[in-house]
């Protein structure tokens, strides 16, 4: 499992390992350097390692030695040769003793970078604490301008590991090999262009140690598979629940159809789509398994509200008083767990008092704009720290919050899960409606609301990613058609 942490987390893990576990810092550094070196393609050669004076630089010197021991050609550029951290000094001295070519004259840097095939950036890691000034601005500019292939140690130098902001300028890495945790700042969209391909490696610490300091996790296939509930041979449709989808309006019948079809394909025993009267004759593209209901028939609706196992509310309903009234009616007459999306969220933003009624029974699935409306925070405020914004909201209202976007966040007040599946081939209308249907369907099948959000977002993005290998744009219909196949794959 990959945990997410900020600069403070690295410091805490470091000091716990050193002071409580009695692992000397130099051992941690050695493990970091060895595991970093292990990720480097064995065909690469001719490395220039650019080292700062802190422990990130120390990692760099240790990597230099590791590479030399693999018979690679290695040179080192030292940004500073005084006032180094203790472990940095030790590894610097070893490099000198081994006779590794070392340079510290900034006027030689450009030529050095040009004459090497790979630059390893070990200037700053989690200790970057101020804007960059000379000579570091020049060093980083040179790396970016002349580096043919750049691998950053822990963090691209110049990026703040906690916030993802740059210190004015930052290394644009082709690869980043990060230690122990995936840095929280990497989730900030502004950091994306600097990171390249990210890999997280351990420094010899068991998972239970890392867990002490982070409750934020990057979901992977193995984790999602561990959440799945196997279907018993003798189960029948009653075991897989009844999902009620309340969605659609004359302009947006598609949203309703998509959610309902996704719920069917995800395996809900029964699915009923409840729409306004004027939409009923527009549902020809609904999968034949979907039952329909007329929202103006209050008795039928009441009956459904009492017996269904989950309710998806919102896609395509319209942001208007009729939707708000309907939401109030649903909340007053049902205790079923709910997925609230799209216009369901928009009307909640108009009447925040209603949020009280969602306590412990609801997952909200806003995109950034919807989240801004319902939380009262600006998009800029949210973007600065999406995890914190999502967690605070979830805590305040006791709801599960699934904040959609590149690196979707799912949180239940204290634990945070980040989903990295999905890509821009899925950036088209109907994707959110699909996720809503999938999530509600999972809840009906006895998954917890939290697990449904996690599995739903992973599965949805996973299908999109797989299909995008052979298709340029992926539609909601493409996703829905492939749900059962990839759901099965997750069980393997």
Cβ atoms within 10 Å of 468's Cβ, excluding its own: 17
**Smallest separation, CB 237 to ligand LZDS7PUF (Å):** 50
Find out whether the peptide bond into 135 is cis, omega within 30 degrees of 0: yes
6 to 45: interface string for ligand LZDS7PUF, x by CB under 6 A: ----x--xx-------------xx--x-------------
* Binds 29: which of K ion, ligand LZDS7PUF, none (CB < 5-8 Å by kind): ligand LZDS7PUF
**Smallest separation, CB 368 to K ion (Å):** 29
**With binding defined as CB under 6 A, does residue 185 bind ligand LZDS7PUF?**
no
What's the rounded Cα separation, in Å, for the pair 305 and 332?
10
**Smallest separation, CB 47 to ligand LZDS7PUF (Å):** 17
At residue 140, the 3 state secondary structure works out as helix
Please tell me the total number of residues recorded for the chain in this structure: 492
String of DSSP letters for 89-110: HHHHHHHHHHT--EE--GGGHH
What's the rounded Cα separation, in Å, for the pair 247 and 256?
5
**With binding defined as CB under 6 A, does residue 126 bind ligand LZDS7PUF?**
yes
Size of the site for K ion (CB under 5 A): 4
For residues 63-92, which are near ligand LZDS7PUF according to CB under 6 A? 85
What's the rounded Cα separation, in Å, for the pair 242 and 264?
10
* Binds 343: which of ligand LZDS7PUF, K ion, none (CB < 5-8 Å by kind): none
Residue of 2, 49, 52, 436 interacting with ligand LZDS7PUF (CB under 6 A): 52
* Binds 132: which of K ion, ligand LZDS7PUF, none (CB < 5-8 Å by kind): ligand LZDS7PUF
Look at the block and give the residue holding tokens 């951290």.
Answer: 85
Residue among 53 and 265 whose Cβ is closer to K ion: 53
3-state helix, strand, coil in the chain (%, to 5): 50, 15, 35
Residue of 28, 132, 153, 476 interacting with K ion (CB under 5 A): 153
Residue among 156 and 344 whose Cβ is closer to ligand LZDS7PUF: 156
What's the rounded Cα separation, in Å, for the pair 358 and 112?
61
> Which is nearest to 73 in space by CA: 56, 49, 96?
49
* Binds 233: which of ligand LZDS7PUF, K ion, none (CB < 5-8 Å by kind): none
Helices 25-38 and 86-98, packing angle to 10 deg: 60
**With binding defined as CB under 5 A, does residue 452 bind K ion?**
no
Residue among 30 and 121 whose Cβ is closer to K ion: 121
139 to 178: interface string for ligand LZDS7PUF, x by CB under 6 A: --------------xx------------x-----------
Look at the block and give the residue holding tokens 């309902």.
Answer: 260
Determine if residue 220 is labeled as part of a ligand binding site: no
What ranges make up the beta strands (E) of 44-90?
A: 47-51, 74-78
Report which DSSP code applies to 235: -
Cβ atoms within 10 Å of 70's Cβ, excluding its own: 12
103 to 122: interface string for K ion, x by CB under 5 A: ------------------x-
Determine if residue 272 is labeled as part of a ligand binding site: no
* Binds 157: which of ligand LZDS7PUF, K ion, none (CB < 5-8 Å by kind): K ion
* Binds 260: which of ligand LZDS7PUF, K ion, none (CB < 5-8 Å by kind): none
Strand partners, 293: 274
What's the rounded Cα separation, in Å, for the pair 226 and 480?
23
What's the rounded Cα separation, in Å, for the pair 367 and 365?
7
Do the beta carbons of residue 55 and residue 61 sit within 8 Å? no
* Binds 152: which of ligand LZDS7PUF, K ion, none (CB < 5-8 Å by kind): K ion
Cβ atoms within 10 Å of 169's Cβ, excluding its own: 17
Q: Where are the alpha helices (DSSP H) in 247-404?
A: 253-266, 298-307, 321-333, 343-350, 368-375, 379-384, 386-397
Q: Return all residues near 307 (Cβ < 8 A) that are at least 6 apart.
A: 242
Residue list for the binding site for K(+): 56, 121, 157
Residue list for the binding site for AMP: 404-408, 432
Residue ranges binding ligand LZDS7PUF (CB under 6 A)? 10, 13-14, 28-29, 32, 52-59, 85, 124-132, 136, 153-154, 167, 179-180, 203
Residue ranges binding K ion (CB under 5 A)? 121, 152-153, 157
Residue list for the binding site: 55-59, 121, 125-131, 136, 154, 157, 255, 316, 367, 404-408, 432-433
């Amino acid at each position: 499992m990959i945990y997410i942490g900020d600069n403070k987390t690295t410091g805490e893990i470091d000091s716990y390992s050193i002071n409580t576990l009695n692992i000397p810092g130099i051992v941690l550094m050695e493990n970091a350097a060895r595991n970093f070196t292990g990720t480097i393609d064995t065909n690469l050669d001719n490395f220039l390692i650019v080292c700062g004076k802190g422990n990130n630089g120390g990692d760099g010197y240790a990597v230099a030695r590791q590479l030399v021991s693999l018979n690679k050609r290695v040179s080192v550029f030292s940004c500073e040769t005084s006032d180094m951290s203790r472990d940095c000094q030790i590894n610097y001295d070893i490099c000198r003793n081994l006779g590794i070519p070392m340079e510290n004259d900034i006027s030689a840097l450009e030529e050095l970078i040009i004459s090497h095939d790979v630059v390893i950036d070990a200037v700053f890691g989690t200790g970057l604490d101020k804007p960059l000034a000379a000579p570091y601005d020049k060093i980083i500019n040179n790396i970016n301008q002349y580096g043919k292939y750049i691998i950053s140690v822990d963090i691209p130098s110049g990026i703040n590991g906690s916030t993802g902001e740059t210190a004015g300028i930052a290394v644009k890495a082709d690869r980043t090999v990060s230690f122990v945790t995936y840095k929280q700042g990497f989730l900030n969209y502004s950091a994306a262009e600097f990171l390249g391909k990210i890999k997280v490696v351990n420094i010899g610490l068991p998972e239970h140690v890392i867990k002490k300091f982070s409750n934020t996790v990057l979901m992977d296939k193995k984790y999602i598979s561990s959440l799945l509930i196997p279907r018993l041979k003798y189960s029948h449709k009653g075991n897989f629940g009844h999902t009620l989808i309340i969605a659609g309006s004359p302009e947006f019948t598609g949203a309703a159809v998509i959610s309902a079809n996704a719920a069917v394909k995800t395996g809900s025993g029964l699915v009923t789509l409840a729409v306004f009267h004027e939409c009923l004759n527009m549902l020809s593209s609904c999968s034949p398994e979907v039952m329909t209901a007329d929202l103006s028939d209050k008795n039928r609706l009441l009956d459904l509200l009492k017996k269904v196992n989950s309710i998806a509310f919102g896609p395509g309903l319209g942001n208007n008083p009729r939707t708000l009234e309907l939401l109030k009616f649903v909340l007053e007459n049902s205790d079923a767990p709910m997925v609230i999306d799209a216009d369901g969220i928009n009307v909640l933003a108009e009447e925040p008092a209603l949020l009280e009624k969602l306590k412990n029974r609801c997952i909200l699935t806003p995109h950034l704009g919807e989240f801004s409306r319902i939380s009262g925070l600006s998009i800029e405020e949210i973007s600065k720290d999406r995890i914190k914004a999502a967690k605070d909201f979830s805590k305040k209202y006791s709801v599960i919050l699934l904040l959609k976007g590149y690196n979707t966040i799912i949180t239940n007040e204290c634990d945070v899960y980040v989903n990295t599946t999905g890509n821009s081939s899925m950036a088209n209308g109907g994707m959110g409606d699909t996720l809503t249907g999938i999530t509600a369907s999972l809840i009906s099948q006895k998954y917890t609301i939290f697990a449904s959000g996690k599995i739903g977002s992973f599965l949805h993005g996973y299908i999109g990613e797989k299909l995008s290998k052979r298709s340029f744009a992926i539609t909601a219909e493409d996703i829905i058609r492939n749900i059962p196949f990839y759901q099965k794959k997750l069980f393997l």
